Amino acid sequence: MNDVIEEVSAVLGAAPGDWIEQHQGYKSYRRSLIGPANSRFYFRPQIGWDFHISLPGKTCQQAGTERLKAYFSSFVNAGAKARRVDLTLDDYQKRITPAQFYEEIRGPNKVTHSRKALTISGVELGKPATGETVYLGAPQSSRRLRMYDKSFESGGEIDAYRWELQERNRAAEKAASDLAHGDWNEVVRSRLVGFVDFRERGSAGHVQDRLRWEPYEELIKGAEKADAYFPVEEKSIEETEEWFRRYMGPTLAMLSEYRGGDLEAISDYANDGRKRLKPKHIALIASAKKKQ
């Protein structure tokens, strides 16, 4: 734990003694420390390798790109997993307003798997609404984009429209790896394009051949779509069987008990599932039988 504190302190240009212990933890972590620029370190004293580090935006700004990139490389190569990564892109030229973005994601030229969008207006008491924020993606999803007027939020300190892509779990792991091994400007733009793109539908038959909406093209500078996740390796039939035994065994036992040990009922469950087998399931069965 002390080694980690020293490493993070070096990234932030601080000293290990700058961290202060708190009375509360986080989720299953019972103890925590607060460091420079509101950085957080949550841990279990009895398990030295199990800890959680949180570096808010101001913390990352204080650290600087070079030290942060070295840090990303360090923890990715050490096998640590990112649980959330927020990628930001500030448009100081204000090419696309939040209102224009909202109209485009409702139109025919958007290219995205996200189906949910939300717009919220920011308000200063006694003044008309001025700060508009648009969310693309569901709150619980692994990827969600927030596009808003950073000038309104920062009190004029940052006069730009901000594109903020929140990535969690599997998406965060891929984002952290991309950041650790790539140019950050390119990574941010390519992952943004991988989440949402705008292609003029009438310009070509295939999406990849269509012209990009010009203001968006200026923003992302010709970036190509990045993969959101690492490819998932297919489980073998033996791994699938072990997974079922470990995680679904109790459910199957409960149903068997409920049915009084009637194996015919269990067989009915299997027959119903057989009707819904997908091609990948059938191919896995065939492959396993060839090896027998």
Q: Give tens-digit pLDDT for 83-117.
A: 999 999 999 999 999 999 999 999 999 999 898 99
282: containing domain:
237-291
Same domain (yes/no): 189, 209: yes
| Phi, psi dihedrals of residue 98, rounded to the nearest 5° | -55, -40
Residue at token pair 């490389």? 73
Same domain (yes/no): 255, 220: no
CA distances, 33 to each of 2, 11, 41, 68, 163 (Å): 12, 16, 5, 20, 30
Nearest to 179 by CA among 67, 92, 90: 67
Same domain (yes/no): 72, 147: no
Percent of the chain with pLDDT over 90: 49
Which of 232, 251, 280 is a domain's end point? 232
pLDDT over threshold 70, residue 13: yes
CA distances, 214 to each of 205, 220, 241 (Å): 18, 10, 51
Average of pLDDT values for 185-209? Answer: 94
pLDDT in tens, 213-262: 999 999 999 999 999 999 877 778 888 888 888 888 888 889 888 988 88
Q: CA–CA separation, 217 vs 188, rounded Å?
A: 14
pLDDT over threshold 80, residue 174: yes
Same domain (yes/no): 221, 94: yes
The pLDDT assigned to 126 comes to 58
Same domain (yes/no): 216, 248: no
Q: Are strands 40-44 and 131-136 parallel, antiparallel or unpaired?
A: unpaired
The pLDDT assigned to 121 comes to 78
The pLDDT assigned to 289 comes to 83
The pLDDT assigned to 89 comes to 97
Give the number of domains in the chain: 3
- SS3 at position 1: coil
For 240, the token pair is: 């699938």
Q: CA–CA separation, 174 vs 225, rounded Å?
A: 14
Same domain (yes/no): 276, 211: no
Residue at token pair 């490493």? 7
Average of pLDDT values for 273-286? Answer: 84
Residue at token pair 């100081």? 92
Which of 80, 99, 118 is a domain's end point? 80
Same domain (yes/no): 152, 36: no
199, 207 Cβ separation under 8 angstroms? yes
Same domain (yes/no): 115, 196: yes
Which of 232, 263, 281 is a domain's end point? 232
Q: CA–CA separation, 83 vs 110, rounded Å?
A: 28
Same domain (yes/no): 87, 198: yes
Residue at token pair 């090419």? 95
pLDDT in tens, 117-157: 988 876 665 555 567 899 999 999 999 999 999 988 788 88
Same domain (yes/no): 241, 226: no
Same domain (yes/no): 121, 72: no
Same domain (yes/no): 165, 179: yes
